[in-house]
Amino acid sequence: MRASAYPLIDADEAAALVLERTPVLGIERVHLAECVGRVLAEDLVADAPLPAFPSSAVDGYAVRAADAGRTLRVVGESAAGRPFEGAIPEGAAARILTGGAVPEGADCVVMVEDVQVAGETVTIPAGLRPGTNFHKVGDDLRAGDRILTAGTELRAAEIGIAAATGNAHLPVRRQPRVALMSTGDELVEVGKTPGRGQIPDSNRWALLAALREAGAVVEVLGIAPDEPGALRRIVVDALERADALVTSGGVSVGTHDLVKPLLESLGTVHVGRVKLKPGKPFTFATLDAGRVAFGLPGFPVSSLVTFEVFVRPALRRMQGFAQLQRPLLPVRLGYDAKPTAERTEYQRVTLHREGRELVAQTTGSQSSSRLMSLAGAHALVKVPAGAQGIKAGSIVEAMILSLP
């Protein structure tokens, strides 16, 4: 099928179609040390209460509230990891350190600042209440409580609570293996001197960073030539190891744009053109064995914007993330956002704070070849197709890439 024969699909429709046809990857059990940034595949449930024993919240003395106002003999100490053995007799106290187990028989802890010590005796204040200054069994979690839900990204706190509840390994979704390739005889490796009509291959390195940030394990294939046989051999070989193929360039309508025909021969192209600026030639295909392929445009901004709109959410779906999209925040436009007649446009903006509001300013020329329009951009503002545009001062939703 000729590239121009693909119907122009609405950008939101194309994004929904991509997610609908992107599979969720399988489950593996991974040690906590390897869980950072991974996605929990199953709910994590507490097997036992946390804390498992009553523990002191302060340094002080473990006593019976009924002994309030008396002078008590000190019969021992309970430190973290070295508990007091046995029960505290009536009329006695035990020194206790923060984190120490509250001895049997004690029902409250008095802070060291609130007592008077004389040798091996301690005078405690009146008016004590049972349950003071210690963590009770199950205060944080009871046996059977859900600790974390499937789809949760595992970061420091989540890994900490998993460790605190005795889980050395967690079930996580497999990270997508992505084969990354640039196409075009006009490209040269970064660092080499371009010949006449050639340019450095910047897209591959920008996309490599974006893919890794999205959680993918990337195999970099390099630059594929504009020759059908060689291109096919590279792709077929890479797909033996990959869950997804990401290409840059070669998806437009020229005679050297070979990606769409190749994907048609290997599977089904579901999206061949999108009502999107930048990014009209974006291509999405499903291949055998549950693999997917994303053909991104060759212009640098088009490549990265279509990655954000289509590829990143799909990679997050593969990993089982509950939240697939970048966060959206209301911002006030600091400029007149001019529309494109028939295509949704994602305009690049920087953000700054004015009082409690975030104000968006354009990054300048929005040409799809001008990578500087994305360098330093904090967000993408979605401008609907039409003739109206959006006036300065309007409140719009922005896809947040980073915050100032």
**Residue 161: how many CA atoms within 13 Å on its side-chain side?**
18
What average pLDDT is seen over the chain?
95
Q: Report the pLDDT value the prediction gives residue 387, as an integer from 0 to 100.
A: 86
For range 59-71, the mean pLDDT: 97
Q: How many helices (H) and strands (E) does the chain have?
A: 7, 27
Is cis: bond before 278, omega within 30 of 0?
yes
Q: What is the pLDDT of residues 23-41, one digit of tens each?
A: 999 999 999 999 999 999 9
**φ, ψ at 227 (rounded to 5°):** -140, 120
Query: Residue 220 burial by CB count (10 A; 0-12/13-18/19+): exposed, middle or buried?
Result: middle
CATH, domain range 28-48+147-173? 3.90.105.10
- The neighbour count for residue 163, using CB atoms within 10 Å, is 13
DSSP assignment of 227-277 equals -HHHHHHHHHHHHTT-SEEEEES--SSSTT--HHHHHHHHEEEEESEEEEE
**Contact indicator for 313, 382 with CB cutoff of 8 Å:** no
Tell me the pLDDT tens digit for each residue of 314-368.
999 999 999 999 999 999 999 999 999 999 999 999 999 999 999 999 999 999 9
pLDDT-derived band at 256 (thresholds 50, 70, 90) equals: low
* Residue whose tokens read 């204040």: 125
- The three-class DSSP label of residue 167 is coil
DSSP-derived 3-state class of residue 369:
coil
pLDDT tens, position by position, 238-252: 999 999 999 999 887
**Quick one: which H or E segment has residue 28?**
strand 27-31
User: Does 145 score more than 70 pLDDT?
Assistant: yes
Mean pLDDT of 112-127: 96
Burial of 91 (0-12, 13-18, 19+ CB in 10 A): middle
Residue 72 pLDDT > 70, yes or no? yes
**What dotted CATH number matches 55-135?**
2.170.190.11
Cα(first)–Cα(last) distance of the chain, in Å? 45
pLDDT greater than 70 at residue 255: no
The domain defined by 328-400 folds into: Beta-clip (2.40.340)
Which pLDDT belongs to residue 347? 97
Give the tokens for residue 277. Answer: 């600026």
For tokens 């350190």, the residue is 97
Fold topology of 3-26+175-318? Molybdenum Cofactor Biosythetic Enzyme; Chain A (3.40.980)
CA 353/CA 159 separation, integer angstroms:
33
What is residue 257's predicted lDDT score, i.e. its pLDDT? 77
Reported as half-sphere exposure (CB side, CA atoms, 13 A), residue 365 has a value of: 6
* Whether the bond into 51 is cis, omega within 30 of 0: yes
Residue 2 reports pLDDT greater than 60: no
Domain positions in the chain? 3-26+175-318, 28-48+147-173, 55-135, 328-400
Distance from the Cα of residue 363 to its chain's centroid: 26
Is there a contact between 159 and 152 (Cβ–Cβ < 8 Å)?
A: no
Query: What pLDDT sits at residue 254?
Result: 57
pLDDT of residue 322: 96
pLDDT band at 1 (very low <50, low <70, confident <90, very high): low
Predicted confidence at residue 391, as pLDDT, reads: 97
Structure confidence at residue 185 (pLDDT): 86
Q: How far is CA 277 from CA 84, 111, 280, 346, in A?
A: 70, 65, 6, 6
DSSP string, 283-349: EEEEEGGG-EEEEE-SSHHHHHHHIIIIIHHHHHHHTT-S--SPPEEEEEESS-B---SSSEEEEEE
Residue-wise pLDDT for 175-213, tens only, equals 999 999 999 888 999 999 999 989 999 999 999 999 999
Would the pLDDT of 107 be above 80? yes
Task: Give CA–CA dist 325/317, Å, rounded.
Answer: 10
Backbone φ, ψ for residue 311 (5° rounding): -80, -45
d(CA 208, CA 180): 7
The per-residue pLDDT for range 273-316, each reduced to its tens digit, is: 999 999 999 999 999 999 999 999 999 999 999 999 999 999 99
What's the pLDDT at 395? Answer: 97
Q: Is the confidence at residue 5, as pLDDT, over 90?
A: no
Residue 243 CA to residue 216 CA, distance in Å, equals 10
